[in-house]
């Protein structure tokens, strides 16, 4: 645990240095959002500091990283570079979709796919594709306000860390911890009012990493097969927000992947919530679902059912509150 703490602190410090440097360079070169004059390359700082600290740690500790974990990390970095170009060039929706489809296809050639034993291989491929595409874009959709995507990512990351620690997966825990340190550092720059955004490169890459990592993990046992849904619970709020946005856009006759102000967070603000109150509600609901996901590792119990029902209640509540009265 001491080594994990040192990993977190080291990544936090390195990320603060990187993000400060990126912020200064972005302001000098005018790489900023035109409407707010805020740098949008935060994702670069998050991922570079995370990878640097993790690679140094594995080298010093002589840790053998499993091949599938290496593939997830490599593809996360590749996606970071692709989305960085998108941040700079602003791809069309069609171009973005083509890049994402090709990227996920390439990942499936090398990486692990969902393997539900009672489903056919083609159906497992389809579910895997929809899962990664959905979560990847769900995190990008969450990046609609200061502190939203970063805060939810921190909660999701902490949840996966807890799951890996419970299951004794030390290498996976060591991979997550420096990412958490980097995200925590980023929140100091991104918490309202934001001094930096993570950009598409950050949000898409985080979404892909969590989606791929959730497929990599082994959550079930013969005695507790229902633990298969742990990643769904941990990632439930981004999923709900994306589904809600898609339905709202379709009802308006808008293509689901096009931008609009239909996100739960933005709707809460438009309904009179203060920015920090809306942000707290998003964090709170995300945390509830994450705790429910962790609890299900210990099989169905009264405590799990209680947290599950509370999670449903507050999710319905936040959706209801997002409609004008």
List the structure tokens of 195: 């001094």
Residues 155 and 169 sit within 8 Å (Cβ to Cβ): no
Whole-number average pLDDT of the chain: 88
What is the domain partition of the chain in residue ranges? 1-218, 220-325
Q: How far is CA 224 from CA 73, 85, 166, 197, 228, in A?
A: 29, 44, 15, 40, 8
> Could you tell me if 174 and 58 are in contact, meaning their C-beta atoms sit under 8 angstroms apart?
yes
Q: What is the pLDDT of residue 298?
A: 78
Residue scoring higher pLDDT (219 or 139)? 139
Nearest to 215 by CA among 110, 288, 291, 77: 110
Question: What would the pLDDT profile of 186-215 be if each residue is shown by its tens digit?
Answer: 999 999 888 999 999 999 999 999 999 988
222 — pLDDT class (breaks 50, 70, 90): very low
Average pLDDT over every residue of 228-252:
86
What is the value of pTM for the model shown?
Answer: 0.93
What number is the average pLDDT over the span 233-248?
A: 89
For the chain, state the CA radius of gyration.
19
- The predicted pLDDT at position 147 comes to 92
């Amino acid at each position: 645990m001491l080594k994990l703490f040192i990993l977190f602190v080291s990544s936090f410090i390195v990320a603060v240095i990187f993000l400060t440097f990126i912020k200064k360079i972005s302001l000098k070169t005018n790489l900023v959002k035109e409407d707010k004059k805020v740098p949008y390359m935060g994702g670069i700082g998050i991922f570079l500091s995370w990878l640097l600290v993790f690679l140094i740690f594995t080298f010093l500790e002589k840790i053998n990283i499993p091949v599938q974990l290496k593939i997830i990390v490599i593809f996360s970095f590749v996606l970071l570079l692709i989305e960085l170009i998108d941040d700079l060039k602003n791809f069309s929706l069609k171009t973005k979709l083509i890049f994402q489809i090709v990227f996920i296809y390439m990942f499936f050639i090398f990486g692990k796919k969902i393997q539900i034993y009672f489903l056919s291989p083609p159906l497992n491929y389809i579910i895997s594709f929809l899962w990664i595409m959905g979560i990847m874009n769900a995190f990008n959709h969450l990046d609609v306000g200061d502190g939203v995507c970063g805060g939810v990512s921190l909660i999701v990351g902490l949840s996966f860390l807890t799951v890996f620690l419970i299951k004794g997966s030390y290498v996976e825990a060591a991979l997550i911890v420096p990412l958490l340190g980097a995200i925590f550092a980023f929140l100091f720059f991104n918490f309202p009012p934001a001094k930096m955004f993570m950009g598409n490169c950050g949000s898409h890459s985080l979404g892909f990493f969590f989606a791929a990592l959730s497929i990599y993990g082994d959550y079930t046992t013969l005695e507790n097969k229902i633990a298969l849904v742990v990643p769904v619970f941990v990632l439930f709020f981004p999923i709900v927000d994306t589904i809600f946005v898609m339905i709202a856009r379709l009802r308006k006759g808008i293509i689901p992947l096009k931008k609009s102000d239909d996100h739960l967070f933005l709707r809460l603000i438009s309904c009179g919530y203060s920015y920090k109150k809306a942000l707290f509600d998003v964090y709170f609901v995300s945390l509830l679902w994450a705790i429910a996901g962790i609890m299900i590792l210990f099989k169905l119990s009264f405590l799990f059912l209680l947290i599950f029902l509370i999670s449903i209640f507050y999710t319905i509540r936040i959706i209801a509150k997002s409609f004008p009265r």
